[in-house]
Structure 1
Amino acid sequence: MANSDSLHPTSHRQRKYLGHKIVVAVLLYTLIVASLVTAVQIYRAYQSALGNLEQRFTEIENSYLPSLAAGLWSVDMPRIDTLLDGIAKIPDVGRLRLRGELNDAWERQHPEHQQILLERDFKIIYREGEDAYEIGVLHVELMAKDIHARMWETAQSIAITTSVSLLMSALFVLFIFRRWIGRHLEKTASYVQQLELNNLEQELFLDRPNSEEHDELDLVVYAINSMRSRIYDDMRKRDILDTELALYREQLEQLVAERTADLQLKTKLLERKSEELVLQNRELDAYAHTVAHDLKQPVTNLMGASNLLNADNLELSAEKNRMLLMSIQQSSIKMHTIIDSLLLLARVRKDENLILEKISLEHTAREACQRMSALAIEKGAQIRFSGHWPRVVANEQWTEEVWVNYLSNAIKYGGVRPQIEIGVTDLANGFVKCWVKDSGAGLSLEQQEQLFKTFVQFGHSSADGHGLGLSIVQRIVYKLGGEVGYDAALPSGSVFWFTLRSA
């Protein structure tokens, strides 16, 4: 505490020396704080600028990558160029390099791009349903020129503003010190007036030299700070209790939410498993029915014919023996066909890691026609190819099986001497529509609703089949990413179709 003699007019020299010390101390403090504040603000501004640059990557990823993936997938060059030009116009973007899956490349570069500040590679992924295909990589470089210029301007502005502000504050503090008795009282009164329950952390300090003797100002400051400290401790304890209570409540709510979400997820999984089991049980029942019903007739024929051939007391003519052997052969062929269809159906259901490749549709169709040539000759059917035949993304063996099923139905049920036309139509969504048109009587609305279901047959004309063909077709095409369907032809006949992704 300053001695009262120091306030006497005769001590003018001492008061002048104190003022000089205050001026020097405040100016040094101002210089140091200004430097520190400027450095901190420049660093924060730089970090903020880097954060904003990261937003450039986020903007490119969210706004441009999906459209760019669609453009690369459909090989839409104008669209790709437009998107790249749009990305190049984003502030701070210096260079772009786009590389497609066929090693085709595009590049954009800013005229002033020299130094790389940030760079990132984005994988361009095209999604089709649950499938995802990586079709290219986009490399983006952000240039440092603009951010360095902005940082220099920010540094100058912050340094000037901080220095001026702190210098003015220092002069104001000096003015308070020169009037230290009156200003101390004003500060104490102002502190007491502004004291609130939510503002108890700041103690009351008077900028006075320390002394062993305390005057009235020190006693007032001590009393005020003691009262503030007791109130502050009580308020802090209450805040701690409130915080702990809120934390326990949040933890309880979070625990309840997690348990509820876990139960809901398990319930959905159980429901899904239950649905899958119901579906599998239905298919197993149908499978058992097919094995018991469709295989019963050829097995009975085999048993009857073999018993006749093995009979000792029965003499058969050569013609009768030939007919019995032919019956055995036909029954064996039918059993083999049914078993092959069931095995193909099971394999289509289980094969999850199917490899797709670019194939020729025309080649698979002609292979299918070759396999059906004997049946076509027997029925007097004529098969005509129509239109353009592009390449598609599919599995060659499975695609051939689809053609075989459609052609088999068209030959069997396409009327007397069936006239069959097969072809391909380009669709606007990147797919092609493959179709088989026959000259038969067509299907009723009720029959159309039952199409593509497992083990469904229509009428007596289906006696040679076993209801698996269209079900296999549907499973194969779904695995290949396409769809199946039926249209009535005009003026008569049927059109069975399926879609595949164009190459």
Structure 2
Amino acid sequence: MHAETFYPDTDQQRKHIGSKIVLVVLVYTIVVASIVTGIQIYRAYQLAFDNLEQRFVEIENSYLPSLAAGLWSVDMPRIEALLDGIAKVPDVGSLRLQGELQDSWERKNPGHNKTLAARRFQIVYREGQDDFVMGTLYVELMAKNIENRMWDTATSIAITTTVSLLMSALFVLFIIRRWIGRHLEKTANYLQQLDLSNLECELTLDRPKSGTQDELDLVVFAINAMRTSIKNDIHKRDLLDKELVLYREQLEQLVAERTLDLQNKTVLLETKSEELILQNRELDAYAHTVAHDLKQPISNLMGASTLLTAENLELSAEKNRALLASIQQSSKKMHAIIDSLLLLASVRKNDNLKLEKINLEHTAHEAYQRLFSMTLERHAHVAFTGHWPYVMANPQWVEEVWVNYLSNAIKYGGDRPEIEIGVTNLANGFVKCWVQDSGIGLNLEQQGKLFEQFIRLDAAVSEGHGLGLSIVQRIVHKLGGEVGYERSLRGGSIFWFTLALSE
């Protein structure tokens, strides 16, 4: 176990925890000291403001009686002297005396520019039981002296507090560095150098022994306990590795044998599974065909035979012929279904089919002859076009493909189908055989389901049983070709398949 280094290499890049603690304590102390200093300054300001009231009391008690007597006797020197005395009272900024005869005297301190408090005194002279108003004295106390005293007090408190805090912070920093910081650095260096090669080295701190343990002792104990636990775990792991080595060779040999056996069984199961899936699909095809396609003709046969064998039911000759024609038509339909199923089964069984050189045009004409009656019934016109080469295939199967494509073109080609059959040479050694009709064509959804089993091109047309195109696809794939569908430029459908040219 090698510890990855996360600390910078130089002390200038490190920020010691002691510095953080001192900074936090210093900021907190400055905030508290500022609040306390503000409270003290405010209280001193309030006390100084209360002392201003004593100035008004002093003026009222000491100067107003004498000033009233001077105004009564019109003693100008005395009045001037008294006003000068009032102006010299501490914190007095300005004063103005207004006599009863509209005469006035003023005094103003040069440093007065802001009034802190003002008072209006009425000067009354008493003669026996009579009072005589001699004038009014206006006195304003200036704020300059109080503000200077408050500023001096705040400066003194701030300097004292700052010096005390600075000395305390330096002392705290020294204590933290001495008692905590250097031990934490030694612990960090020890953990950085700890790996599997030096687990025997124990962590110790350069500090005097004491009877009690603190947090650093607990950290050292925990690290040494972790080191011992890791060493024991590694020893146990080495023992387990030796035991595992003893079993590894036996397990590898056993696994190789089991793997080979499982591979053989897997290949066999995959082969069987594919065969079962294919057989299940064929069985589903047979079951679906028997259940859905044979049900209607059998029902028709049963109904017609019941009517023909009824004892008390007299039918006309025309009705009997209609019933017999229905029986014949149902029998033909059942025969066609059975032929399709047999052809589907034969395609599945012939895995090793031998191909031969066949005349492609001959197979197409044979298919046309088989459907000649249908073409007359539907008033269809069939035209053969192009050059017809020889291909490598099975003639019976190719004929069935032509029959299926041609019958679909006749059934879905419109009222009077115009059908064209042709062959196009491809550049890869194959030919493209196609049947084009004049119907309405197929949409994208119908094209995607064309070659699935039991899918009819038109649900409104009841002829057929949905196995034709799936049989075509199986046949062509067995012959090494592909099947497909295209929309013709005239709007109809083109069904095609490819076969390999003969050499």
TM-score (norm 1): 0.49
Larger Cα Rg: Structure 1 or Structure 2?
A: 2
TM-score (norm 2): 0.49
